[in-house]
Structure 1
Amino acid sequence: MSATTPDQPEPENPANRETVRITVREQETVRLPSQRSGPGRGAHPGRPVRRARRAPLPVAVAVATLWAALISYLPVAVVLGMAQFAEDAGSPPGAARLGLAGWLLGHGVPLDTPTGPIGLAPLALAALAAWRVSRAGVHVSRAIGARHRGTPVQALSVAGAVGLAYGVIGLLAAVILNTGNVSASPLRAGLTLAAFGAAAALVGALRTTGALRLVARRMPGVLRDGLRTGVVAAFLVFGAGAGAAGLAVALGGGDASEMLGAYRTGVTGQAGITLVCVAYAPNAAVWSAAYLLGPGFAVGTDTVVRTTEVSIGALPAVPLLAGLPEGPLGGAGAALLAVPVVAGMAAGWLLARRMLRADRSARWRAVLGAALLSGPVAGLVLGAGALVSGGSLGGGRMAEIGPVAWQVVVMSAVVVAVGAVIGAAGTRAFTGP
């Protein structure tokens, strides 16, 4: 193969600027376009460089927020519609309105029903909605050109705009819902969804703009490590609660099957009821975590479920409640109380290993200070989970369900701090210089 060039340069032809001519045996065989790798390379003098157009903030916010609301609403409408149509008591408008009720409830908006107020939010739906709104914050940040080069002010502006739009959607959803038997306060729905949307969008905007990394760098090292360790410990406790709850429901699987079969709604209706229980599975995980920590939880007014005491009355036929303990745990069962301590020790171990990798001579004061700080941080996270996991299921004795938030905060702060200090100190002593 050989490339030939003419003896005299030909006049420059715009049509040939972007090609490379390759010949084999003096015959042209292939024509390859030259590649442009960026505005600086491959660009020709005198030709303007095209830049990506930025979308106006209102347009980007409207499109991203509407899409996030739609994606989180459709599964609710489908699941509740399945349960409604199984009883031959539904219509498409009724299913859509029922879906709005469930969607608002998932965001923490209480509903007024003929049987009483309902305020027990399904946390699985809340997590889905938070994820989609967080992605809306990501998309809006990209659309306005703030990706990896934004500031905290830009992240806050994106979060505020998305929160405002989400609040308007919540207000309109409550107005539409109030045309039926179930209703919600439009003002409360608007304010609740505005706060929900702003908080979720802020998470996505901070990560996309790079502002989160900037804030973390400016934060004192002990505070940064303590925050990270506390969040890790809190999620380890939540994970332990989820495992305990799943095991309890599995052991009570026979009772759960009998409750499900008693509805006699056919396969479609039973599938809908099962999916509703799945939506409340994170609530059960939080309640189980409170059970492991010691404060326990309530399943009705004047009831309590703890490792040392179980006092419950008649319960609704909900398969998820089949895993409730029948009585206090014995001596062997009391060992479950050590699970949160072990979670704190694991978080402390990870903290010390991370600090020793960054600095082999990490000071004891820094290690123990971060470990102690992780306790209150974990307490706040677990207390927030306890707060949003409770609520009411109508009037009467089911008006109080879930753990007491302040009790969870206090117990988890102490337990996690003790465990984290033990884990961090042991790791620092045996692996440090």
Structure 2
Amino acid sequence: MPTTPEEPDEGAQTRLAARETVRLPIQRRAVRGKGPARRPARRAPLALAAVIGSLWAALVSLMPTLIVVWLLYALDSAGAPLTQVLRLGLAGWLLAHWVPLETGVGPLSLAPLGLTAIAAWRVYRAGVHTARAIGARAHHRGKPWSPWPAARAGVAIAVVYAVLGALAAVVAAHKGVAVGAVRAALTFAGFGLVAGSLGAFAEARGIARLAARTPRVLRDATRTGAVAALLVLGAGAATVGMAVAVSGGDASQIIDDYHTGIAGQIGLVVVCGFFAPDVAVWAASYLVGPGFTIGSETFISAAHVTVGALPAVPLLAGLPSTPATGYAPLLLGLPLLAALIAGWLLARRSLRLDPERPWLPLLGAAALAGPVAGVLLALVSAAASGSLGAAGLSDVGPHSGAVGFVAMFMVAIGTLLSTAATKVALRAKRARE
């Protein structure tokens, strides 16, 4: 029987319903995809993000210290109570942040830079995550970029880290070890502010914006000076490795003299790993020229060597006993070689980007690389200096001012010569082509 308008066909109704069912999700997705209809991402509170990031950074950098203390206490068959392991671990962790410890043998202030690097990296990442959580990189249309969100993230990290440092100092203080809680809080605040702010501004693209607005000469000088400083430090690390390898028998004998088991030997090796960057900086100061001291009786430089009583540490087995002789003086040319390599890289990169770059800005960048490298090496030398307790070991490490001064002139001369020679060689090559 034919259908009437009042009674629509059931098949048509089914097809219409199916068509509407298919259209509905498509229409919803289209509306959801529009810019004005998109809901803004939810952001975490600044305090919560800073607390979580700082706590995680502290735990990650503290765990290696606790493990080493536990391994060293494993030498004793009776073991050690958990509270003692925690206190000593916290004391070593505080020392890695340059918080001095007052002990029965005197003040300890030489930071294990290997552990310091781990702590700085984790606090840097805490700044990155905190800035990301509060949306420090986001910016509204029509409004200029603001540094305040990243600055707030860095300050929040510093505040939380200062509290953690004060608490660690209170817990670590016990019979034989005294730690100033106020000193620890202030030191941790500065540590957290520097590392956390760097991470926050890197996440917010603040460092990239600053670099883009910096004159090209200064950018090239900073990059070249940093490369030269890293190459000098790398040469120092290679020298230490070679010296310890040559004196491997003496280093093994020092470890055997402790009469430890496998766990104790592993703990000693890890402790040496924590202090290996310090010794690498000392070796770099030896290569640069000024040398370094280990207390009042030991002075090591290429021209003069005086060896007194030394701590029984395997890393010190490779110390020279005489001034540089034979082929050893060739090692003193490594810092100059580092400067030549840095200058070559500067010229190659600059002339690849701008083949017609004038002489003045190119040589200006090479000359300014010297002060940049000198400042960096002076700061690292100061970080690798401190006290090992006893009166005879109260001054350990290189003289940072002398290292920075000599390195400044050495790097400036090397980069200038290499940059000029590279530019002349590249120009001659283009002329032949």
| TM-score, scaled to structure 1 | 0.90
Q: Report how far residue 152 of structure 1 moved.
A: 3.1
| Corresponding residue number in structure 2 for 1:394 | 389
User: Which of these residues, 234, 240, 246, is aligned with residue 251 of structure 1?
Assistant: 246
Superposition map of 1:16-165 within 5 A: 17-18=24-25, 43=32, 49-87=38-76, 88=78, 90-147=80-137, 151-165=146-160
Provide Cα deviations, 1:72-128, integer angstroms capped at 9, x if missing partner: 111111111210231245211100111000000001001011111111100000000
Matched, 1:352 2:347: yes
Q: Partners in 1 of 2:173 and 2:184 — Cα distance?
A: 12
| Corresponding residue number in structure 2 for 1:210 | 205
Rate the CA distance shift 1:296–1:52 in 2: closer, same or farther, 3 A: same
User: Which of these residues, 301, 306, 325, is aligned with residue 320 of structure 2?
Assistant: 325
User: Which of these residues, 157, 165, 184, is aligned with residue 170 of structure 1?
Assistant: 165
Q: Partners in 2 of 1:169 and 1:430 — Cα distance?
A: 56
Provide Cα deviations, 1:300-337, integer angstroms capped at 9, x if missing partner: 11421011111011212111111101111114211211
Provide Cα deviations, 1:14-71, integer angstroms capped at 9, x if missing partner: 687337xxxxxxxxxxxxxx996xxxx56279x9644321001111101111110111
Cα-Cα RMSD: 2.3
What residue identity is the alignment partner of 1:188? R
Q: Partners in 1 of 2:315 and 2:364 — Cα distance?
A: 41
Provide Cα deviations, 1:253-275, integer angstroms capped at 9, x if missing partner: 10000000111121111111110
Q: Partners in 2 of 1:250 and 1:297 — Cα distance?
A: 21
Q: Partners in 2 of 1:217 and 1:71 — Cα distance?
A: 34
| Corresponding residue number in structure 2 for 1:408 | 403
| Corresponding residue number in structure 2 for 1:295 | 290
Q: Report how far residue 157 of structure 1 moved.
A: 2.0
Structure 2 spans left out of the alignment, 5+ residues: 1-11, 140-144
- The answer (yes or no) to whether the contact 1:148–1:210 under 8 Å persists in 2 is no
- The answer (yes or no) to whether the contact 2:297–2:308 under 8 Å persists in 1 is no
What residue identity is the alignment partner of 1:219? T
Superposition map of 1:228-307 within 5 A: 228-307=223-302
Matched-pair identity in %: 44
Rate the CA distance shift 1:12–1:182 in 2: closer, same or farther, 3 A: farther
User: Which of these residues, 361, 377, 380, is aligned with residue 382 of structure 1?
Assistant: 377
Q: Partners in 1 of 2:342 and 2:302 — Cα distance?
A: 24
What residue identity is the alignment partner of 2:342? A
User: Which of these residues, 216, 220, 225, is aligned with residue 215 of structure 2?
Assistant: 220
Rate the CA distance shift 1:223–1:205 in 2: closer, same or farther, 3 A: same
Matched, 1:422 2:417: yes
SS in 2 for 1:18: helix
Q: Which contiguous aligned blocks of 4+ residues in structure 1 show a shift greater than 6 angstroms?
A: 5-8
- The answer (yes or no) to whether the contact 1:119–1:393 under 8 Å persists in 2 is yes
User: Which of these residues, 295, 304, 311, is aligned with residue 309 of structure 1?
Assistant: 304
Aligned length: 411
- The answer (yes or no) to whether the contact 1:206–1:212 under 8 Å persists in 2 is yes
Q: Partners in 2 of 1:136 and 1:105 — Cα distance?
A: 21
Rate the CA distance shift 1:102–1:336 in 2: closer, same or farther, 3 A: same
Rate the CA distance shift 1:98–1:7 in 2: closer, same or farther, 3 A: closer
Rate the CA distance shift 1:153–1:345 in 2: closer, same or farther, 3 A: farther
Structure 1 spans left out of the alignment, 5+ residues: 20-33
Q: Partners in 2 of 1:158 and 1:375 — Cα distance?
A: 34
Rate the CA distance shift 1:372–1:35 in 2: closer, same or farther, 3 A: farther
What residue identity is the alignment partner of 1:199? V
